[in-house]
Structure 1
Amino acid sequence: MNSPLNPSTMRVCHISFSFLIGGIENMVVDILNEQSKTIDTHLVIVNDTYNQEIIDRISAKVHVHFINRPQGNPNPFYIFKLWYLLFKLRVQVIHCHSPKLIMFLLPFKNKCIYTVHNIGISLKNLNRYKKLFAISHAVKEDLSKRGNLKSELVYNGIHFDRFEKRSDYNLQHGEVFKIVQVSRLLHEQKGQDILIKALEELRLQNHLPEVELHIIGDGPSEGYLSDLIAKHNLGNTITLTGPKDRSWIYSDLKNYHLLVQPSRFEGFGLTVLEAVAAGIPVVASDIDGPAEIVKNMPGAWLFENENVSQLTKAIKEVITHYQDDKIASMCLNDIAEAKHKFSVVATAENYLKHYQLINYNK
């Protein structure tokens, strides 16, 4: 028989290679902070690549450990340092957030679980984990179809009450219509180039207000996107603002009229959910992750993946709904719908329930 773990004595260690500002790291911080309210919670960062700003967001109840391995360094010293720490901590569950970690943790493999945060990831060695978790039906189905791998669905979630909500849905004559896109600057996945091309189409439309786009984030596509903006003469319309911290997301997302997420593929789409929490409408590509979040939400529009003209049309429809005073009720309904399904408190609790049910002795 599988004896459930006792929550009062449960010790869980989350582990990642690096810990920079990004959607996965923000999600892990929220889960850590929630779980630390009821269990002994640890975070191990293997590499010396981490951002102090996001570390500072972690609750003082969470024990944070740094292995400080130089990225890619093959010296076995760092592996032994990691093993020694895990033996000393005597954790019952090792919750991994990087797929290759299992190869560093083979002596502990019966304790290792992994959350799959995206579709299309390499399936190599995933069968070595004790259990896999998927953040959406899209990820769950991807694992099943490509690798015949079983996983448990645990939705990502956010703290809805931390988001300041938009209250003014009037679009005054002459007011600039402000669009925001938040993600890593990695256009091959996140599709910022699709949005830039749509902004060029919008500029050619008649009877529309002036439009302004802020692209939030950093990443390897920054130079490419800067060149693309210049190529289309959109320097006065589009701004690459760099990354913003969580306090900015909580307080400033509401100041935009619309969030657009034009990703080519996405396991979930946390920024889509954050826009809903801030009370602003969303336009997203009709791919599994984001579509799973916003289906049946009246304040969300989906467009065919990579279809610039459809994206342009969707943005125009949102502007029209602002002008017709219809957008407020749509967004308020969306907040209630999303809060019921995507609370980070529920996310953390669901993981705890699964931790208790796994037999780590087999």
Structure 2
Amino acid sequence: MRLLHCIFSFNVGGAETMLIDIINQQVQIHEVGLCIINNAYDINLINKINKKCKVILLNRKESSKNLWNVVKLNKIIYSFHPNIIHCHNSHIIKYIFLHKFYKTFLTVHDTRLPLICAKYYDHIIAISQAVKDDLCKHNIKNVSIVHNGIETHKILHKNSSSLDKIQCKIVQVSRLEHLKKGQHFLIEALNLLVKEKKTIPIKISIDFIGIGSSETYLKKLMSKYNLNDSIHFLGLKDREYIYSHLKNYDMLVQPSLNEGFGLTVAEGMVAGIPVLVSDIEGPMEVIESGKYGFTFECGNVFSLAQQIKYIIEHPNEANNIAIQAQKFATRNYDISNMVENYDQIYIL
């Protein structure tokens, strides 16, 4: 089978890094190509793709309306002669002249995305039930669910049997976009907990891993509450760093306002640390509605603070849930499961 993945940009992000894993698995049994349409890509990410994959850089200027780019894209597709065209943005298909002569697939990576072109694909792959439900609201059919996957064997496991009794180190991994990812709620919750230091005798710290447009705002919020000694912005870190350091934390918190899945939640589970997520559809699906993690009311700072406090005060319960979550995530969210499910959908 000849598979051609098409994506607009290829900078550091969950969808891009996961696509690397998918391609590196698929090249073992298929002929695979990757077409990056825009001139927005990270060469370090590209270098992580197996050399068996043909990487094609169209180098279109973002938002360009130059028709020559469309012609070049179609020449690339014709030259590669794929059986399957797998897109990772719904708008790509409108630039493919003869898309009806190929089997076309679209992976939808989040809720609330513009999906005006989704109806032109032969099949849609939703990364979660939450995403599928969102698609159904737009009357989009032919949808299958394939959960995101990770290379679980690369994530180092936490060794300690319970939370540190001297300090609690919290990690949050995502783009710094507080209106979507909700990092400001976590800062405000820490402020509430610091005020309760008489009832919580251990030091609580937060490491934010990621970059984004909200970094200045979040740092100002941190300073406003005098939390500079307790909060650290570590910037952008590659996956190898994250996979080797998750085990050093006592808790992963994902306070998102909307989230299609929550890959970092699954990674925290595999590392064996307790995870705490807002009670929205995607992350709740990852932790099986609270069976394999803790939840708080989305957007409720007091609820978030109380749940952090609960996890700290109940280390044995948190550890037991984390152990079960590790087994569940390793079994269900490994990248091999995702690739196998893709193959089954391709031949439908």
TM over 0.5: yes
Matched with 2:10 is 19
Instruction: Note the alpha carbon deviations across 1:237-275, whole angstroms, 9 max, x for none.
Output: 111111110111110111110000000010000000000
Matched with 1:207 is 199
Instruction: Note the alpha carbon deviations across 1:190-218, whole angstroms, 9 max, x for none.
Output: 00111111111111112321111011111
- The alpha carbon displacement at 1:353 in A equals 1.3
Tell me which amino acid in the other structure corresponds to 1:147. Answer: N
Matched with 1:311 is 304
Instruction: Provide the rounded CA distance (Å) in 2 between the counterparts of 1:254 and 1:40.
Output: 36
Matched with 2:295 is 302
- Is 1:136 paired with 2:136? no
Matched with 2:334 is 343
Residue 56 (structure 2) aligned to one of 50, 65, 75: 65
Contact 2:35 2:56 in 1 (8 A): yes
Secondary structure of 1:167's match? Answer: coil
Contact 1:190 1:264 in 2 (8 A): yes
Residue 80 (structure 2) aligned to one of 71, 75, 89: 89
Structure 2 alignment gaps of length 5 or more = none
Matched with 1:6 is none
Matched with 1:192 is 183
- Is 1:102 paired with 2:97? no
The runs of at least 4 consecutive aligned structure 1 residues that moved more than 4 Å come to 170-173, 296-299
Matched with 1:291 is 284
Instruction: Note the alpha carbon deviations across 1:166-190, whole angstroms, 9 max, x for none.
Output: 00134455x2211000001111110
Residue 112 (structure 1) aligned to one of 104, 108, 115: 104
- The alpha carbon displacement at 1:148 in A equals 4.2
Matched with 2:258 is 265
Instruction: Note the alpha carbon deviations across 1:128-163, whole angstroms, 9 max, x for none.
Output: 111111010111111112334341111111111111
- The alpha carbon displacement at 1:85 in A equals 1.0
Tell me which amino acid in the other structure corresponds to 2:156. Answer: E
- Is 1:124 paired with 2:116? yes
In the superposition, the TM-score normalised over structure 1's length comes to 0.92
Tell me which amino acid in the other structure corresponds to 1:321. Answer: H
Instruction: Provide the rounded CA distance (Å) in 1 between the counterparts of 2:157 and 2:99.
Output: 44
Contact 2:205 2:231 in 1 (8 A): yes
In the superposition, the TM-score normalised over structure 2's length comes to 0.95
Matched with 1:149 is 141
Instruction: Provide the rounded CA distance (Å) in 2 between the counterparts of 1:12 and 1:225.
Output: 42
Tell me which amino acid in the other structure corresponds to 1:338. Answer: A
Matched with 1:240 is 233
Coordinate RMSD, CA, aligned:
1.4
Secondary structure of 2:295's match? Answer: strand
- Is 1:79 paired with 2:70? yes
Tell me which amino acid in the other structure corresponds to 1:66. Answer: L
Instruction: Provide the rounded CA distance (Å) in 2 between the counterparts of 1:245 and 1:274.
Output: 14
Contact 1:266 1:289 in 2 (8 A): yes
Tell me which amino acid in the other structure corresponds to 2:177. Answer: L
- Is 1:39 paired with 2:30? yes
**Alignment size in residue pairs:** 345
Contact 2:74 2:97 in 1 (8 A): no
- The alpha carbon displacement at 1:22 in A equals 0.6
Residue 172 (structure 2) aligned to one of 171, 178, 181: 181
Instruction: Provide the rounded CA distance (Å) in 2 between the counterparts of 1:289 and 1:45.
Output: 27
Contact 2:119 2:140 in 1 (8 A): no
Instruction: Provide the rounded CA distance (Å) in 2 between the counterparts of 1:96 and 1:293.
Output: 24
Instruction: Provide the rounded CA distance (Å) in 1 between the counterparts of 2:126 and 2:280.
Output: 16
Secondary structure of 2:138's match? Answer: helix
